[in-house]
Amino acid sequence: MADLIDLKELEEKVILIAVSTGDEDGTPASLDELSELASTAGAVTVGRVIQNREKVHPGTYLGKGKIEEVKELIWELGATGVICDDELSPAQLRNLEDALDTKVMDRTMVILDIFAARASTREGKIQVELAQLKYRAVRLVGMRNSLSRLGGGIGTRGPGEKKLETDRRLIHQRISQLKEELEDVKRHREITRQQREKNFALSGAIVGYTNAGKSTLLNRLTDAGILAEDKLFATLDPTTRSYRMEDGQQILLTDTVGFIRKLPHHLIEAFKSTLEEAKYSDIILHVVDCSNPQMDMQMHVVKETLKDLEIVDKTMVTVFNKTDRLEGQGEDQIRQVPRDFSADYQVRISARTGEGLEELQKILQTIIRNRRVYLEKTFPYSQAGRIQRIRKYGQLLKEEYREEGVAVEAYVPAELFAGLYGD
């Protein structure tokens, strides 16, 4: 992940820390993910500590005894910091930093850091900076300690080349300024969306857990040329492409930022305008990596996040991806065909090999057709322009040139239907 690391920076060696509140809460898997996040942000994991507790310690995250243990471990392993698997309160951050006498980070900080390095468009950068500033505004005390101690590393990176503010008054000024800029961008987006609606094209948003294969799918369907990588959060900015199907109909598909468990609240807030693409789309394509052992948890996280974003009552298509990885895993696995009965449609595909894409296309065609109106009419030759519109926005099934005009059978968008009658 060399692209994220400034080589001159001191390599951070971190110990991951989590509190497990039950046997089945998936803490080890969550730490695996945190370790991947840390490495994406340029830190090496040198140790892990899980404390079993009824709940997180309100003052110090871990209990007293465990803190002593971690302190020794830091010394033994030569760690330069610790990362907690939950978002810490300002007090927890400060207290833990005092107790451990080392740099303390949390999951949110790491995710924000990755987003900061990845943001490339104006909108993406504004959104990330806003989320970072809101996170920092209440944590300046603890953070300043870590800043002076390390002078770089996770938690200090801003989007692009920008260094983050450390003055509270300036932070609040900057937050208002960014909010205004974001409004600007939003207005622009609104206009584009309205123009799109005039085109009568249906739209679909591709959502899903990070690394599920969303960008790979859009690339496969539309030659979008989006960067798809085996990395967390490879995509931040939405890309929209028109997908023309074999029957000539088209649908606008948008690739979106991936979700993850414990997605920082500030990020969801900040990325709302990006995720609005999903809110205003007609169809949600939920891409699931069905080769991932954590599949069920990941699907749950995506569904909950969609609920948080008030993205409900959409036509849902669950797309189980990476089926190529399931093959050769033996009889036992094959019997466990992934299913999602809460979705309107489900399909199993491999965006890599192309398997199942025809079925996905059929599903999309069915959805489009269900939203269209059947039309059977003979247009006089003077109204040839209307047939053009049907061809462009609908699906022309039959076109027969007769003496009195052109006899047409077609499926057309309901919005277009009325305009096709009359003189």
Ligand X SMILES: Nc1nc2c(ncn2[C@@H]2O[C@H](COP(=O)(O)OP(=O)(O)OP(=O)(O)O)[C@@H](O)[C@H]2O)c(=O)[nH]1
Question: Which CB atom, from 212 or from 364, has the smaller least distance to Mg ion?
Answer: 212
Residue 321 touches which of ligand X, Mg ion, none (CB < 5 to 8 A by kind)? Answer: ligand X
Distance, in Å, from the CA atom of 60 to the CA atom of 54, rounded to the nearest integer, reads: 14
Distance, in Å, from the CA atom of 396 to the CA atom of 176, rounded to the nearest integer, reads: 51
Least CB distance to Mg ion at residue 212 (A): 8
Question: Which CB atom, from 83 or from 205, has the smaller least distance to Mg ion?
Answer: 205
Residue 232 touches which of ligand X, Mg ion, none (CB < 5 to 8 A by kind)? Answer: ligand X
Residue 74 touches which of Mg ion, ligand X, none (CB < 5 to 8 A by kind)? Answer: none
Contact 311, 278 (CB under 8 A): yes
Return the ∠ at Cα 348 (arms to 347 and 353), rounded to 5°. Answer: 130
Count of residues that interact with Mg ion, criterion CB under 5 A: 4
Least CB distance to ligand X at residue 363 (A): 17
Query: Which amino acid does the sequence have at 22?
Result: G
Residue 361 touches which of ligand X, Mg ion, none (CB < 5 to 8 A by kind)? Answer: none
Question: Which CB atom, from 125 or from 322, has the smaller least distance to ligand X?
Answer: 322
Question: Which CB atom, from 124 or from 213, has the smaller least distance to ligand X?
Answer: 213
Q: Provide the Cα torsion 236, 183, 198, 422; round to 10°.
A: 160
Dihedral sign, Cα of residue 184, residue 190, residue 191, residue 192: positive
Contact 112, 264 (CB under 8 A): yes
Least CB distance to ligand X at residue 241 (A): 14
Query: Which amino acid does the sequence have at 269?
Result: E
Coil/strand/helix, residue 247: coil
Residues in the chain: 423
Question: Which CB atom, from 51 or from 291, has the smaller least distance to ligand X?
Answer: 291
Question: Which CB atom, from 279 or from 352, has the smaller least distance to ligand X?
Answer: 352
Contact 393, 413 (CB under 8 A): yes
Query: Which amino acid does the sequence have at 19?
Result: V
Residue 399 touches which of Mg ion, ligand X, none (CB < 5 to 8 A by kind)? Answer: none
Binders of Mg ion in range 175-234 (CB under 5 A): 214-215, 234
Least CB distance to Mg ion at residue 219 (A): 9
Least CB distance to Mg ion at residue 215 (A): 3
Least CB distance to ligand X at residue 259 (A): 8
Binders of Mg ion in range 235-294 (CB under 5 A): 235
* Strands in 305-368 per DSSP E: 315-321, 345-348
Question: Which CB atom, from 233 or from 379, has the smaller least distance to Mg ion?
Answer: 233
Residue 158 touches which of Mg ion, ligand X, none (CB < 5 to 8 A by kind)? Answer: none
Contact 16, 34 (CB under 8 A): yes
| CB contact set of 205 (below 8 Å; sequence gap of 6+) | 253, 254, 256, 277, 278, 281, 283, 284, 285
- Note the residues at the interface with ligand X (CB under 6 A): 208, 210-216, 228-235, 258, 321-322, 324-325, 350-352
Using CB under 5 A as the criterion, which residues of the chain lie in contact with Mg ion when the complex forms? Answer: 214-215, 234-235
